[in-house]
Amino acid sequence: MLLFKFNKEKEPEVVMETPQNTSHIVFGIHDNLLECSHCGKVFLPKIPAKIDDFVAECNKFVAQHENCKPLMKLREHRGNLAESMATVIEIPPTLEALKTVINNELSVFGVPEITDNMIRIEPYGFDKRINWNTHIVMIAGYGVYGYIDGPLQETSC
């Protein structure tokens, strides 16, 4: 739920408070954009609008993104950490997203399609150098593909 407070000039200067579990959805006072800091999607409510409509529109966006998980980082296995970090990309923290990336990368080299049960993720320790709760990504018949900065999640937005 959102709480709004309009100032006297009826400018869309809005004070919004969200409960703890939606603290990743923020309202930019200056650009009037709602933004989900986990998936990066933004929503521009129509202004001017009736306050009820405005709140309803915003609440809809919040409901859609309430359970969004933050993006995870993925780096490919390389000779050293610096080279590996140069390959970092951010993707949804799901097996589906990971599989898509792996297949896109490996199909170039003629590697047959990787399926869910060929991918194994295991905790690999906390890496203080990069502050990653590192998990290793291994592929059956291929070896170590790379590393992610935390465990996979069940769903994403």
Residues contributing to the site for Zn ion (CB under 5 A): 36, 38-39, 65, 68, 157
| Shortest distance (Å) from residue 65 CB to Zn ion | 4
For the CB of residue 96, give the shortest distance to Zn ion in the complex, in Å: 16
Structure tokens at 43: 């929503």
Least gap, CB of 29 to Zn ion (angstroms): 20
Q: Which is nearer to Zn ion, 138 or 157 (CB)?
A: 157
Amino acid at 121: I
Backbone angles phi, psi at 93, to 5 degrees: -80, 50
Tell me the closest approach of the beta carbon of residue 22 to Zn ion, in angstroms: 10
The smaller minimum CB distance to Zn ion, of residues 66 and 105, is found at 66
Q: How far apart are CA 64 and CA 36, in angstroms?
A: 10
Determine the Cα–Cα distance for residues 99 and 57; give it in Å rounded to an integer: 34
Nearer to Zn ion, 55 or 68 (CB): 68
Task: Give the Cα separation of 103 and 75 in Å (integer).
Answer: 15
| Residue placing its CB nearer to Zn ion in the complex, 54 or 61 | 61
* Burial environment of residue 128 by CB neighbours within 10 A (0 to 12, 13 to 18, 19 or more): exposed
